[in-house]
Amino acid sequence: MRIEKSRTLYEKLNILSDAAKYDVACTSSGTDRRGSGRGVGNCIAPGICHSFSADGRCISLLKILFSNDCVFDCKYCINRVSNDVERASFTPEEVCRLTIEFYRRNYIEGLFLSSGVLRTPAYTAELLYETLYKLRTEYHFEGYIHVKLIPGAPGELIEKTGYLADRVSVNLELPTAESLRLLAPHKTRQRILAPMRQVQLARTENKNELTLYRSAPRFVPAGQSTQMIIGATPENDYQIISVAESLYRKFELKRVFYSAFVQVNEDPLLPVLPGGPPLLREHRLYQADWLLRYYDFRADELLSERHPNFNVFLDPKCDWALSHLETFPVEVSRADYRTLLRVPGIGPRSAQRIVRARRMGTLDYDTLRRTGVVLKRAVYFITCNGRQMYPLKLDEDFILRNLLQDGKRGIPTETATYRQMSLFDDVRFADTCGLTG
């Protein structure tokens, strides 16, 4: 039996933002749109962070569920039907009012609207559409909107919603179909991928249309994203990153988000993680994800069946560089852009700057530092005009040892010195053996 009481807006916002906090994406990036001058709002391609919550995550969008009154029973979710939690639902007016009032005060960059499944997927999707329609046409909101598509919602609703939103996403939830069957009995892989494919096709079609008619309405201009939970099921990093890679390739996703599993429910099917959520693992996956999207790496370069998980102590790029020392050192004044990108400590921005700056003059280490190269990591892997910054050995153990030391000191502790070979216990060597093994 359900006892319902009317709630104030404050209570609703508390319940429904609390319920939405496990959704990861809070980016407002991907689209540039100037205001029309009649409404309120615009969009900036790099996105803007407006605040940071106590867990250090950015608050950019008003992230809320429309309702947490869900009929599904996903094992990992706080809002599953078998949980006894406070339930609440917004009305479309309330969401619009909150969004506009927050936006006017520059609290937020836009709205992130998700929802539990209220009655049926179609009913929920209809409500989300209605909210967006009201916000765009009645309140003339021109800021960023990210909306979750409800798997199983009818296709025409998805299409209509896509013309109002900037970004849509469908949660993949778990990396493999098998895990999904186990932990989310009401969802299937196929029902999740179907709307994703639909959005992809509609976007391609819309792009063609836009080349013909520049003022045609835009369909999901900031692209689609997805997220999966890390550490609730036994997949290894290689599987996860391969899934992400194929999503980028085959579904043209803009982002894949990873969320470290936070145990909110007691369930025999869920793992117990005494050390808290696997945050470091999540961090490594994000780093690898950037390597896939911006650094031209492939998943099978970073990991393999034999070496299926990321090194906890080193970021994936350093890890890759250490196992491919034959490609180093790289000469920064001559190497092409792609080669530069593979050097630890050099990112897309600094690589571009190097390429432009070296046309105008001779580079030196000071200039490199000023272009944004992290020399702390890069020194081991580069030469500038044929010279290293310090005489350093291109030796795996040596570099590893120095990278792992907290790089507070400017100059690596040990430049190329010679030491007496010893058959036994070299102290410094002993502690790195454990790490690489």
Nearest to 134 by CA among 151, 150, 113, 118: 113
Question: What's the closest the beta carbon of residue 22 comes to other proteins, in angstroms?
Answer: 7
d(CA 255, CA 25): 9
Question: What's the closest the beta carbon of residue 227 comes to other proteins, in angstroms?
Answer: 14
Can you tell me which of 198, 200, 367, 432 binds other proteins, judged by CB under 8 A?
Answer: 367
Can you tell me which of 361, 386, 391, 410 binds other proteins, judged by CB under 8 A?
Answer: 361
The reply on whether position 300 binds other proteins by CB under 8 A is no
Q: Is the dihedral of CA 202, 219, 92, 3 positive or negative?
A: positive
- For 128, residues 6+ apart whose C-beta sits below 8 A from its C-beta are 66, 113, 115, 147, 148, 150, 161
Can you tell me which of 2, 3, 10, 274 binds other proteins, judged by CB under 8 A?
Answer: 10
Three-state secondary-structure class, residue 67 = strand
Residue span 258-297 as binding mask against other proteins, x where in contact by CB under 8 A, dash where not? --x-x-------------xx-x------------------
The reply on whether position 360 binds other proteins by CB under 8 A is yes
Cβ atoms of 70 and 79 closer than 8 Å: yes
d(CA 80, CA 73): 5
Cβ atoms of 20 and 53 closer than 8 Å: no
For other proteins, the closer of residues 206 and 333 by Cβ is 333
d(CA 61, CA 48): 9
Can you tell me which of 249, 298, 338, 370 binds other proteins, judged by CB under 8 A?
Answer: 370
What DSSP line would sit under 371-424, residue for residue?
A: TT--HHHHTTTEEBTTB-SS-----HHHHHHHHHS-TTSSS-S--S------SS
Can you tell me which of 38, 214, 306, 419 binds other proteins, judged by CB under 8 A?
Answer: 38
Can you tell me which of 2, 3, 5, 34 binds other proteins, judged by CB under 8 A?
Answer: 34
The reply on whether position 105 binds other proteins by CB under 8 A is yes
**# residues near other proteins by CB under 8 A:** 60
Can you tell me which of 1, 2, 4, 37 binds other proteins, judged by CB under 8 A?
Answer: 37
The number of beta carbons lying within 10 Å of the beta carbon of residue 127 is 22
Can you tell me which of 86, 93, 101, 267 binds other proteins, judged by CB under 8 A?
Answer: 101
Residue span 135-174 as binding mask against other proteins, x where in contact by CB under 8 A, dash where not? --------x-------------------------------
- For 225, residues 6+ apart whose C-beta sits below 8 A from its C-beta are 25, 27, 167, 169, 253, 254, 255, 256, 257
Indicate the DSSP class of residue 105.
T
Element (H, E) at 113: strand 110-114
d(CA 371, CA 367): 6
Question: What's the closest the beta carbon of residue 135 comes to other proteins, in angstroms?
Answer: 16
What DSSP line would sit under 30-49, residue for residue?
A: S--B---SSSB--B-TT---
Residue span 50-89 as binding mask against other proteins, x where in contact by CB under 8 A, dash where not? xxxxxxxxxxx-xx--------------------------
The reply on whether position 14 binds other proteins by CB under 8 A is yes
For other proteins, the closer of residues 241 and 260 by Cβ is 260
Can you tell me which of 102, 133, 286, 290 binds other proteins, judged by CB under 8 A?
Answer: 102
Element (H, E) at 81: none
The reply on whether position 111 binds other proteins by CB under 8 A is no
Question: What's the closest the beta carbon of residue 276 comes to other proteins, in angstroms?
Answer: 6
Length of the chain (residues):
437
The reply on whether position 375 binds other proteins by CB under 8 A is no
Residue ranges binding other proteins (CB under 8 A): 9-10, 13-14, 17-18, 20-22, 34-35, 37-42, 44, 46, 48-60, 62-63, 98, 101-102, 104-107, 109, 143, 260, 262, 276-277, 279, 353, 356-357, 359-364, 367, 370-371
